[in-house]
């Protein structure tokens, strides 16, 4: 019997310099926009769990987003950004809408993974409401199945840059 195979962390994680560069840039932009850390709330609207696992990996000590001012919150009432994973099931559509409604303005939504974009094996099923954008306004979509932690971190930076760009244009 052969021993179980596990992939070494170093093989699946970008180098610390890349994480640090993206994280520090996010921190500067979040402080400029909010004057504080950015608060993130997540909703799994019906995913396979793959993207959810990647978000959990991002939250862990290997990436440690809190050192960059990216804090995950347990309440949408404290959130600036909503991360949505999965093709939205009929049962989760009202939950997703309620979470979005509970967030204070201004608020932004990032759809994580192909499922949140309406793709996947269950698209068109009677049990599915559709993509996240059919329930809440999505500001940014990060493709992939799953979307890796570094891509989520880079996506949050892209969202901040997009918001600041709009803010500069509108005054």
pLDDT digits (tens, 9 = 90+) for 45-104: 998 889 999 999 999 998 999 999 999 999 999 999 999 999 999 999 999 999 999 999
pLDDT over 60 at 30, yes or no: yes
What average pLDDT does the chain have? Answer: 90
pLDDT over 60 at 11, yes or no: no
CB-based contact 96:84 (threshold 8 Å)? yes
Domain ranges for the chain: 15-166
CATH of 15-166, one of 3.30.565.10, 3.40.50.300, 3.40.50.12280, 3.40.605.10: 3.40.50.12280
User: Which residues, including other chains, have CB under 8 Å from residue 20's CB and lie 6 or more apart?
Assistant: none
CB-based contact 129:93 (threshold 8 Å)? yes
pLDDT over 70 at 10, yes or no: no
């Amino acid at each position: 019997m052969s021993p179980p195979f596990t992939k070494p962390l170093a093989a699946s994680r970008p180098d610390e310099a890349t994480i640090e560069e993206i994280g520090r840039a996010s921190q500067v932009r979040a402080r400029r926009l909010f004057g504080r850390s950015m608060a993130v709330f997540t909703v799994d609207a019906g995913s396979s769990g793959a993207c959810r696992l990647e978000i959990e990996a991002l939250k862990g000590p290997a990436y440690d987003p809190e050192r960059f001012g990216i804090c995950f919150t347990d309440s949408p009432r404290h959130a600036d950004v909503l991360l949505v994973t999965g093709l939205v099931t009929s049962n989760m559509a009202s939950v997703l809408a309620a979470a979005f409604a509970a967030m204070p303005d201004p608020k932004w939504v990032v759809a994580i993974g192909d499922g949140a974009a309406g793709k996947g094996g269950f698209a068109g099923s009677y049990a599915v409401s559709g993509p996240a954008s059919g329930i809440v306004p999505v500001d940014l979509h990060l493709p992939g199945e799953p979307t890796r932690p570094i891509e989520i971190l880079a996506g949050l930076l892209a969202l901040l840059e997009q918001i600041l760009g709009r803010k500069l244009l509108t005054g």
